[in-house]
Amino acid sequence: MNTSPRGHAVWDPGQYHKFGDHRLRPALELFERAMLALGDRVPNEVYDLGCGGGEIARIMADRWPDAHVVGLDSSAEMLVKAEAAGASRVEWLEADVRTWEAKPKADLLYSNAMFQWVDGHPQVFPHMMDQLAPGGVMAVQMPLSFGQTSHRLLRETLEGFGTPDLLKAVSRKWVEEADWYYDLLKPRSSFLDIWEVRYLQVLQGDDPVLEWVKGSALRPVLTAMAKDEADRFLAAYGAALREAYPKRAGGETLFPFHRLFMVVGK
């Protein structure tokens, strides 16, 4: 069993990948921008940090057949899923990005939807820049979930449940604003592109927003609760989400989702 560096979140690959298409789209958009930033440079050392099920690591191995491609993740469960997806020449590595060091230095550090789980951005991002070879590129995408209705309702519902520690953990803003990353990375970079996208995700089925959050932000919450408390919490949170994200006439649910992208050259 593996816990994330946040301490509670045991990953459930099946739940996370229920919304595979919506989760893959920003990953591919980030990858395209990273390729543009690399230009004519053909990378030798390529890392997918927090690779999860390893989809992008596999795409990178196909894109650069001579590169050493590493899919790195701190979750043994996720890496088992990545390996089980079939033979590939990606090297799967269990490690924590906060202490991991690239040897040799990386030409591309790519990370989709991981750094929002990693504490200590003022130290972690400079550490990442130190792992890049001169001219290397770091490409990062993180959800800007804190201000979303789904996360506000999570905090409000949790007030009547769980421990104060849990509420405190969920109430913390893990991802900063775009200009904060600009100020941190600008002195360490040769170029810097930061942008935000708000996707209007069209979800199907019953309680789709609850199902979505179960695969991400709810992991530490549910892991910390006893079963009967978790059931009561899910009933209350599910009702709040249904009211905030009503089904449309055709049965689908609109779930706006805000994400921050950064592509940085060393």
Ligand X SMILES: C[S@@+](CC[C@H](N)C(=O)[O-])C[C@H]1O[C@@H](n2cnc3c(N)ncnc32)[C@H](O)[C@@H]1O
Of 23 and 259, which has the nearer Cβ to ligand X?
23
The residue within the footprint of ligand X, chosen from 37, 102, 114, 167 (CB under 6 A), is: 114
Concatenate the DSSP letters of all residues of 108-132 into one string. EEEEES-GGG-S-HHHHHHHHHHTE
Reading the block at residue 84, the tokens are: 């089980």
Cα dihedral: 116, 120, 123, 126 (round 10): 0
Cβ proximity of 249 and 21 under 8 Å: no
Name the residue number minimizing CB distance to ligand X.
52
Distances, alpha carbon 175 to alpha carbons 88, 111, 227, in Å = 33, 14, 30
Site for ligand X in 115-144 (CB under 6 A): 117-118
Judged by CB under 6 A, which of 46, 75, 262, 264 binds ligand X? 75
Beta strand pairing call for 132-143 and 253-265: antiparallel
- For residue 87, the minimal CB distance to ligand X (Å) is 20
Structure tokens at 6: 């946040």
Whose Cβ is closer to ligand X: residue 74's or residue 157's?
Answer: 74
Residues written for the chain: 266
| Cα within 13 Å of Cα(2), Cβ side | 16
Q: Could you tell me which of 21, 209, 34 has the C-alpha nearest to residue 109? A: 34
Span interacting with ligand X, options 107-115, 169-177, 190-198, 236-244, rule CB under 6 A? 107-115
In the block, tokens 């989760």 appear at: 23
Find the part of the chain contacting ligand X (CB under 6 A) among 67-75, 84-92, 127-135, 241-249.
67-75
Task: Report the chain's terminal Cα–Cα distance, integer Å.
Answer: 36
How far, in Å, are 8, 58, 160, 218, 229 from residue 235 at the CA level? 21, 38, 13, 13, 10
Determine which residue in the list 34, 38, 51, 167 makes contact with ligand X, applying CB under 6 A.
51
Q: State how far the Cα of 247 lies from the Cα of 156, in Å rounded to an integer.
A: 22
Number of residues that bind ligand X (CB under 6 A): 21
Site string for ligand X, 157-196 (x = CB under 6 A): ----------------------------------------
Q: How far is the CB of 74 from ligand X (least distance, A)?
A: 4
Nearer to ligand X, 5 or 194 (CB): 5
Residue 27 binding ligand X, by CB under 6 A: yes
Tell me which of 30, 70, 109, 113 binds ligand X, using CB under 6 A.
113
What residues does 262 pair with on adjacent strands? 140, 194
Task: Kindly identify the residues of this chain, within the stretch 225-244, that bind ligand X according to CB under 6 A.
Answer: none
Instruction: Write down the least CB distance from residue 239 to ligand X, Å.
Output: 26
Does residue 98 bind ligand X (CB under 6 A)? yes
Interface with ligand X (CB under 6 A): 4-5, 11, 23, 27, 50-52, 73-75, 78, 96-98, 112-114, 117-118, 216
